[in-house]
C-alpha cells in the first residue's frame, strides 16, 4: 500500500523553475511522491530503480515498515525536549553505537558536516589541553568533509571554495595513501595533533585506502600522540559490508564521524570518541539544540536493529561483489572503461573521460545513478537490494556505459 502525496506536494510547475528556493543545487528535472524498497515513483508516475539511496542515506530502502513504525511511535510519544535534559533514546543509541564501533562516547548532531565540525573542534581542544594553542590536522587530497567553513577548509575541492575567502586554517593536506607524505608533513608542522580522513573516499571518486596504510597510520598516531579521526559519514553504517569502514583493517580510531545512513533519512550525525580522545570535551565546549533528539534517535535505533535482523552487512558484501562482478564482466575489453572498484555497496566505475551525461541517460532508462569527480560513476544502492535488483542495476549501468562510450 502506498502513501498518496497531498496535492500541494505534487508540483504543477516545471521542476526546473524553483523560483523560491535559494539556487544552491543544479537539480535534476525529477521529483518523487513515494518509494518502496529500492524503487521510487516520480510525480509523473514513472518507476525508478534507486542506485543512489539519497547519497548513501536510505540503507533500509524506502518506506521500510519497521522504520516507519519506529518514527510514528516515537512521534506519538515525544519529539523534542533539548539537551538541557537527559534524552533516554540518545543514551540508548550512544550505547549501541559504542558497542558496534569500539568507541566510548558520542556527541549527536544533525549532519555529516556538523559531525566533522565536532571532530575538528575536539582535535583542536585536545591540542589546547596539551598546551598547543593552534593545533593542526592532517587532511587528504580528494577529501570531502562538508560545506561549513571549517569542513570546507578540510575538504579538497577548489571549486567548492571559490568566493568564500579565508577559510579556517590549521589543515595540512597530503596525498591520499601516501605514508611518506605524512612523515614529511610531520617534520614541517610540529603542531599536528590529528589526522582526519575517509578510509574509502566517496565524493573523491570511490578511492579505497589499503589495509596496510591504515595500520601504519594507526601506529604513527600512537607513536606521536595524535588522534586518528575517521570520517565514516558515507562509508559507515554497513555501507562497505562492515558496520564501519575502518573495521576492514582491524584498527580502532580515536574519533569517528557518522551521519547519512545512521538515521535512514531523518537528519542525524554523530561524533564518537575513544581512548585519548574520550573525555576531552567538557560542558560548554560544544552543543546543539536539535542534536540527538528522541525522534531521530528512535529512527537510528530502528535502523541499527533492522540492519541486524535483516543481516544487511552480509547482504551489502554479497550484493556489492555481485554488482562489481557483473560490471567487470560486462565491460571487459570495452575501450574507455578504466576500473571497477569499491567495497560492499560503495561502488565506483571510472571511465577515461568525463561522463556526467550518464546521469540523465540513466534517468531516461529508469535508473537513478550518480557521477562524481567528472568521470566516476558512483553506485550507492540501498543495503536491502536483492540479487535480481542488483543484476538489473549492474546490467543497466553496463548497457548505459557501452552506449555512452560508443557515441
Ligand atoms: C565523507 C563525507 N563527510 C562529510 C559529508 C558531509 O555530510 P553532510 O552533507 O551531511 O553535511 C559528506 C557528504 O557527502 C561525506 O561524504
With 50 as the cut, is the pLDDT of residue 112 above it?
A: yes
Residue 3, pLDDT above cutoff 70: no
Q: Which of 259, 266, 268, 376 to mutate to test the pocket of ligand 1 (most atoms within 8 A of CB)?
A: 259
Q: What angle do CA 354, 355, 359 make, to 5 degrees?
A: 150
| Residue 5: per-residue pLDDT | 58
Best residue among 144, 239, 372 to mutate for probing ligand 1, ranked by most atoms within 8 Å of CB = 144
pLDDT of 2 above 60:
no
Note the pLDDT of residue 18.
56
User: Quick check: 7 pLDDT over 80?
Assistant: no
> Regarding predicted confidence, which is higher, 327 or 9?
327
Q: Whose CA is nearest to atom 7 of ligand 1?
A: 112
1 pLDDT tier (thresholds 50, 70, 90) = very low
**pLDDT digit string, tens, across residues 227-243:** 999 999 999 999 999 99
| Alpha carbon of 146 to ligand 1 centroid (Å) | 5
Give ligand 1 pocket residues (Cβ under 6 A): 111-113, 116, 144-146, 198, 202-203, 231, 233-234, 259
List Cα–Cα distances, 379 to 16, 26, 161, 348, in angstroms.
25, 20, 26, 6
How many C-alpha atoms does 260 have within 13 Å on its Cβ side?
27
**Residue 9 clears pLDDT 50, i.e. is over it:** yes
Distance 403 CA to ligand 1 centre (A): 32
66-309 CATH: 3.40.640.10
The atom number, within ligand 1, closest to the CA of 146 reads 6
Q: Is the per-residue pLDDT at 140 higher than 80? A: yes
Residue appearing with cell numbers 595533533: 193
The per-residue pLDDT of the chain, averaged, comes to: 96
In the chain, the percentage of residues whose pLDDT exceeds 90 is 95
pLDDT value at residue 6: 61
Q: Quickly tell me which residue has 540527538 as its cell.
A: 292
Nearest CA, atom 4, ligand 1: 145
29 CA from centroid of ligand 1 (Å):
23
Q: How many helices (H) and strands (E) does the chain have?
A: 12, 17
Predicted local confidence at residue 15, as pLDDT: 55
Q: Which of 140, 146, 237, 245 to mutate to test the pocket of ligand 1 (most atoms within 8 A of CB)?
A: 146
Burial class (CB in 10 A: 0-12, 13-18, 19+), 65: exposed
Element (H, E) at 348: strand 346-351
pLDDT band at 13 (very low <50, low <70, confident <90, very high): very low
Please give the share of the chain, as a percent, with pLDDT higher than 70: 96
pLDDT digits (tens, 9 = 90+) for 357-379: 999 999 999 999 999 999 999 99
pLDDT of 10 above 70: no
C-alpha 145 – ligand 1 centre gap (Å): 5
- At the top level of CATH, the class of 311-407 is alpha beta
Which atom of ligand 1 is the closest one to the Cα of 114?
A: 11
Name the residue at shortest CA distance from atom 13 of ligand 1: 146
| Candidate from 114, 260, 348 with most ligand 1 atoms within 8 A of CB, to mutate | 260
Reading across the β-sheet that carries 255-258, which strands appear in turn? 105-109, 269-273, 255-258, 227-231, 192-197, 136-140, 171-174
Per-residue pLDDT, 19: 79
Indicate which atom in ligand 1 lies nearest the CA of residue 269: 10
Q: Under DSSP, is residue 315 helix (H, G, I), strand (E, B) or coil? A: helix
Domain ranges of the chain: 66-309, 311-407
Amino acid at each position: 500500500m502506498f502513501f498518496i502525496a497531498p496535492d500541494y506536494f505534487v508540483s504543477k510547475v516545471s521542476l526546473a523553475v524553483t523560483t523560491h528556493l535559494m539556487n544552491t543545487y543544479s537539480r535534476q528535472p525529477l521529483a518523487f511522491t513515494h518509494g518502496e524498497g529500492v524503487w521510487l515513483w516520480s510525480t509523473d508516475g514513472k518507476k525508478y530503480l534507486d542506485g543512489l539511496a539519497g547519497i548513501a542515506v536510505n540503507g533500509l530502502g524506502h518506506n521500510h515498515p519497521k522504520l516507519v513504525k519506529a518514527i510514528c511511535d516515537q512521534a506519538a510519544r515525544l519529539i523534542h525536549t533539548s539537551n538541557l535534559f537527559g534524552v533516554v533514546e540518545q543514551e540508548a543509541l550512544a550505547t549501541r553505537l559504542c558497542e558496534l564501533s569500539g568507541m566510548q562516547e558520542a556527541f549527536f548532531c544533525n549532519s555529516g558536516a556538523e559531525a566533522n565540525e565536532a571532530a575538528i573542534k575536539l582535535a583542536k581542544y585536545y591540542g589546547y589541553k596539551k598546551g598547543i594553542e593552534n593545533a593542526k590536522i592532517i587532511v587528504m587530497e580528494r577529501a570531502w568533509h562538508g560545506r561549513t567553513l571549517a569542513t570546507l577548509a578540510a575538504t579538497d575541492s577548489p571549486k567548492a571554495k571559490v568566493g568564500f575567502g579565508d577559510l579556517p586554517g590549521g589543515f595540512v593536506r597530503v596525498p591520499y595513501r601516501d605514508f611518506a607524505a605524512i612523515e614529511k608533513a610531520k617534520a614541517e608542522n610540529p603542531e599536528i595533533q590529528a589526522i582526519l580522513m575517509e578510509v574509502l573516499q566517496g565524493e573523491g571518486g570511490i578511492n579505497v585506502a589499503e589495509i596496510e596504510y591504515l595500520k601504519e597510520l594507526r601506529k604513527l598516531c600512537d607513536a606521536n600522540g595524535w588522534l586518528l579521526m575517521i570520517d565514516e559519514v558515507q562509508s559507515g553504517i554497513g555501507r562497505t559490508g562492515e558496520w564501519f569502514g575502518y573495521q576492514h583493517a582491524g584498527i580502532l580510531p580515536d574519533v569517528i564521524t557518522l551521519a547519512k545512513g545512521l538515521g535512514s533519512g531523518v537528519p542525524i550525525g554523530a561524533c564518537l570518541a575513544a581512548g585519548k580522545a574520550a573525555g576531552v570535551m567538557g560542558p560548554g565546549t560544544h552543543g546543539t539544540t536539535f542534536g540527538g533528539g528522541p525522534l531521530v534517535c528512535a529512527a537510528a535505533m530502528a535502523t541499527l536493529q533492522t540492519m541486524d535482523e535483516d543481516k544487511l552487512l552480509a547482504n551489502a558484501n554479497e550484493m556489492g561483489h555481485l554488482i562489481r562482478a557483473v560490471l567487470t564482466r560486462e565491460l571487459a575489453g570495452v575501450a574507455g572503461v578504466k576500473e571497477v572498484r569499491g567495497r560492499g555497496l560503495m561502488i565506483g566505475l571510472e571511465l577515461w573521460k568525463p561522463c556526467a551525461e550518464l546521469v540523465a541517460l540513466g534517468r531516461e532508462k529508469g535508473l537513478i545513478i550518480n557521477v562524481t569527480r567528472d568521470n566516476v560513476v558512483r553506485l550507492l544502492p540501498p543495503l536491502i537490494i536483492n540479487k535480481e535488483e542488483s543484476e538489473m542495476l549492474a546490467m543497466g549501468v553496463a548497457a548505459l556505459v557501452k552506449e555512452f562510450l560508443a557515441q
